[in-house]
A and B are shown apart, each in its own frame.
Chain A
Amino acid sequence: MSTPLMVGAVAYTPNVVTIWEGMREHFREGPAEMDFVLFSNYGRQVDALLDGTIDIAWNTNLAWLRTVAQTDGACQALAMRDTDTVFRTIFVARSGSAMHGLESLRAKTLALGSKDSAQAAILPVHFLSEAGLDSDAVKLLRINSDVGKHGDTGRSELDALRAVLDDKADAAAIGVNTWDAIGREELMPGAFEVVWESPTYSHCNFTALPTLPPERVAPWLDQLFAMDWDNPEHRPILEMEGLKKWVAPKLEGYASLIEAVKEQGIPPRW
């Protein structure tokens, strides 16, 4: 029996322990056992991947890009959630605001989530820039509630929504997962409405260094992809992690974030 593969994840909620203990159990007695290490932030996790403390990192899109940058593109993405292939940023405003499209944000205040959140800060600024709206055109209210966790807690996005309710901002940029969590426009009719919805982009992935041998990666991936939504033992873990199926990584989905990081000069160690 070889040493278990060591997977790193960031502890953004107590449930991360439950998720990864469930994952470890799934891999137990299989051909590719695994254990896990939890980190307080993605910077530390990427460092641990680079120095060999962990074999695989469960990375956000920004952490993936930071790993790419620090390995000159040699790192490999192994898998992602089905939901990671179609992630989106949603710009929302109070219902009845008559704001439709990015141009309607001109001369308005947009609340952003934590500065290291791709979905709630980095990409929204990029999308505005693509639309010709720089910081003079749209006032940005940055709410850095959970820096280090790349927006995983969702707290900064909730704070951005509160800023809209408090009339401190006209609109907020949030991830589609937060938009789903508040029930879109259905649960709270008359509260929020969509101003603009971004194109899809890729979010998290399992990242490994090229030094991880293929004969160790392949059986681990086989076992990962064998997780089944209809299997009652697997389903609670999949539900908590927010997916129905593990899929192959969609690397082209990182193009917008690569551009955004370059444009905004995002530092390499966030």
Chain B
Amino acid sequence: MVSPRLVLDLIERVGSAPHGATVSVPLTGDDPDSLTETITAWCLRSGNELVEVRDNVASVRHGRGFDVLADLAPDQVPGTRLWLYTNFDCNLACDYCCARSSPSAPRRALGLDVVRKLAAEAVGAGVTELLLTGGEPFLLPDIDELVAVCTDALPTTLLTNGMLFAGRRLERLRRMDRSRLCLQISLDSPTPDLHDSHRGPGSWARAVAGIRLARTEGFRIRVAATLQVGDIRDLEPFHAFLDSLDVARDDQVIRPIAHRGFADDGLELTLDSLIPEVTITAEGVYWHPVSADHVDQLVTVNPFPLDQVIAEVKRRFVEQRSRATSAAQWFPCA
């Protein structure tokens, strides 16, 4: 049963609010579902937006809210990039690893069949880039096959510490499609001290050797450094060093340590503060790669069908951002 009084109240309260502002309308009556239907229908017809109904109070925005997804850079739109955790075991035990990877971590591999299926569905789901990470992916004996099914589908980035390019692993590297693959190698400093302090003695020299080797093999290299927020300054010597390794400036990525996994401190990253990048592990789908070992950001345990998973992540993100915007309008500080 439609409530005419509710509609009259809506018109008066929403109409007197500034465009973009949110008003709260109490749903008083025996049938809150019916009242919610009324508000939904009125909003649809009048060009306003029902933000949420909670505790029998409806929040309605005057006009349509801003387009959350349109405000993002194209490569930030959730589902554009798809992260796959190939495995969690690693030859290093970095003290800030957000995924809690180490030599003693169980492998928890995604597996070739799942990766193949994900890569196949990714194209139709609007994904434009696949990113493989771990753990250390080169510990997997079938990493070349995993990469092949990905590069056959989409441009792909493979994250590695660059320390294992020898023997059969080097042969696997050489079989990868240079035209479709970028190697992202971790390096935290232009000299060994800082890098080795986090990642273990001798790791800097082997990573630099790996970068040089991969460049020689004709791969595009992106270098990603993970630093304490306080250390992200005076970076020119680092950039100059990476220039000398023939790493393009656009491929020199500096990012702060996240307070996740093994890290004792760092940036606090929550569902509310992260733009989601859909991430799939052996355990399920996560909000962002930085939280792939944390149940608070588990979206669902089933990654299929991938397009529906991505749609759900987008829906949650839009809802969350819209709610945050409304909350900001409810509580102006002055």
- Chain A residues at the B interface, C-beta cutoff of 8 Å: 13-15, 17-18, 153-155, 158, 161-162, 165, 178, 181-183, 187-192, 239-240
Contact = CB atoms under 8 A, between A and B. Distances in A.
A13 B16 contact: yes
A182 B7 contact: yes
A173 to B, nearest CB: 15
A53 to B, nearest CB: 26
B17 A14 contact: yes
Nearest to B4: A191
Contacts of B45: 183, 187
A240 B18 CA distance: 11
A165 B5 contact: yes
Interface string B1-30: 110110110011001111101000000000
Contacts, number: 63
B2 A154 contact: no
A18 B4 contact: no
Contacts of B41: 183, 187
A13 B62 CA distance: 12
A53 B29 CA distance: 51
Contacts of B238: none
A212 B176 CA distance: 76
Interface of B: 1-2, 4-5, 7-8, 11-12, 15-19, 21, 38, 41-42, 45-47, 62-63
A83 B16 CA distance: 21
B47 A239 contact: yes
B4 A188 contact: yes
A97 to B, nearest CB: 14
Contact of A182 (B1, B11, B47): B11
A99 B47 CA distance: 32
A17 B20 CA distance: 13
A15 B12 CA distance: 14
A182 B6 CA distance: 10
A192 B38 CA distance: 15
B8 A158 contact: yes
A68 B154 CA distance: 70
A270 B63 CA distance: 32
Contacts of B38: 187-188
Nearest to B12: A158
Contacts of A13: 15-16, 18
A169 to B, nearest CB: 14
A99 to B, nearest CB: 17
A126 to B, nearest CB: 26
A189 B2 contact: yes
A162 B5 contact: yes
The 6 closest A-B pairs by CB, nearest first: A191-B4, A14-B18, A188-B2, A158-B8, A15-B19, A188-B4
Nearest to A15: B19
B15 A154 contact: yes
A165 B2 CA distance: 13
Contacts of B1: 190
23 contacts: A14-B19, A15-B62, A17-B18, A18-B18, A153-B16, A155-B12, A155-B16, A158-B12, A161-B4, A161-B8, A162-B8, A165-B4, A181-B11, A181-B15, A181-B46, A182-B7, A183-B41, A183-B42, A187-B38, A188-B4, A188-B7, A190-B1, A239-B47
Nearest to A184: B45
Nearest to A178: B11
Contact of B11 (A17, A154, A190): A154
Contact of A158 (B11, B19, B21, B42): B11
Contacts of A190: 1-2
A100 to B, nearest CB: 20
B64 to A, nearest CB: 10
Contacts of A187: 2, 7, 38, 41-42, 45
A188 B45 CA distance: 12
A189 B37 CA distance: 14
Given A155-B12, A161-B8, A182-B11, A18 B19 contact: yes
A183 B1 CA distance: 15
A158 B15 CA distance: 11
Given A13-B16, A154-B12, A182-B7, 18 more contacts: A14-B16, A14-B21, A154-B11, A154-B15, A155-B16, A158-B12, A165-B4, A178-B11, A181-B11, A181-B15, A182-B4, A183-B42, A187-B38, A189-B2, A190-B1, A190-B2, A239-B47, A240-B19
